[in-house]
Structure 1
Amino acid sequence: MKTVFVTVGTTSFDELIESVTSQEATQILSDLGYEKLVLQVGRGSVVPGSDSCGGLFVDAFRFKDSIAGDIRDADLVISHAGAGSCLESLGAGRPLLVVVNDRLMDNHQLELAKQLHADSHLLYCTCSTLTQTLKEMDLSVLAPFLPGRTQNFANFMDQAVGLR
């Protein structure tokens, strides 16, 4: 079953949940072949029911010990622009569409999304442009996000403290 996983992390981002479960967005997702929508709604007040999104099966929850399985099982991840959620999704090799909360002051999330987009690792939008982005997105242009090489840092530290 082709699945979209949506996460807001540990925050509240009702506008994202409302946008992605709107009639227009769910129709676009259905047209793209998605059949299931898994929503991690965090502390938000919007918790859609299992039959609230037309032809998509909906599974909504607030929190889990880990969302790694949800990310791994998704054909597309739609996420708030938190660094942890972005890096976890990219590290799992999942196509990622980041929705920036443009109502935040001094929005560092936009900076992160722009940089990762410039490197072709993800697509990004705001809630007001989500449906247009879904219509136009081409996931084939996304480049893999290569994991960091921790050995380079370890070698540097060994040298810095005189072990090498």
Structure 2
Amino acid sequence: MGDAEDGVGPKRTVFVTVGTTCFDALVRAVDTREVQQELSARGYTDLVIQMGRGTYAPKKSNGEDGSLVVDYFTFSPSIVDYLRSASLVISHAGSGSIFETLRLGKPLIVVVNEDLMDNHQTELAEELAERKHLYCARPQALYKTIADMDVESLLPYVSGDAAPVAKHINRFLGFPDD
């Protein structure tokens, strides 16, 4: 396997998503030299940031100096292709982004937006981290989470079968069993 720096090695992309929100703290955190150097040291080659409604624009890089190739965009009709091609996903704590990433079997770091009033996203992220399906971080601790992570130790997330629940609800509502 060649080195990523010589352009021969495998492309390993980190995809960052903030969804439709403004989460400049996350974008700023991944735009630091410290975080980017740690990602590069771990073999990642590219950083693609979906910055949503944020106002902070990260620095783009073509990777010529051996650093990560960095690009960003605001919105996309679908981020599924970005998620599929990612080697690591760093996401806001939105349940859609979390479960789509886990369904695809991608290593995931969820960064909690402490500026949001509703705490259910934090609870979800912390519960899934406790079950070892993902890592959970605050923006200011993202570097440490990346430095300490072992993606091989994450457990696959297996979604539950909703059919029994749907059947029970249908019976309760008086619909016939199929």
Q: Which TM class, normalised by the smaller chain length?
A: over 0.9
Figure out how many residues of one structure are paired with residues of the other and give that number: 164
| Residue aligning to 1:31 | 41
Structure-2-length-normalised TM-score: 0.85
Match among 3, 26, 30 for residue 13 of structure 2: 3
Q: Deviations over 1:32-65 (max 9, x none)?
A: 0000001000000122243188611112111111
| Residue aligning to 1:77 | 89
* Distance of 1:10 and 1:158 partners within structure 2: 34
Residue 66 of structure 1: how far off its partner (Å) = 0.4
Residue 115 of structure 1: how far off its partner (Å) = 0.8
| Residue aligning to 1:163 | 176
Match among 136, 140, 147 for residue 124 of structure 1: 136
Please provide the CA RMSD for this pair: 1.7
Identity rate, percent: 45
Match among 140, 158, 163 for residue 151 of structure 1: 163
Which amino acid in 2 is paired with 1:47? A
| Residue aligning to 2:75 | 63
Residue 140 of structure 1: how far off its partner (Å) = 1.3
Q: Which runs of 5+ in 2 are unaligned?
A: 1-10
* Distance of 1:138 and 1:158 partners within structure 2: 43
* Distance of 1:113 and 1:154 partners within structure 2: 26
1:50 correspondence with 2:63 = no
Q: Which runs of 5+ in 1 are unaligned?
A: none
* Distance of 1:117 and 1:52 partners within structure 2: 33
Match among 116, 136, 139 for residue 148 of structure 2: 136
Instruction: Please say if residues 53 and 74 of structure 2, whose CA atoms lie closer than 8 Å, have aligned partners that are also in contact.
Output: yes
* Distance of 1:118 and 1:94 partners within structure 2: 17
* Distance of 2:61 and 2:170 partners within structure 1: 56
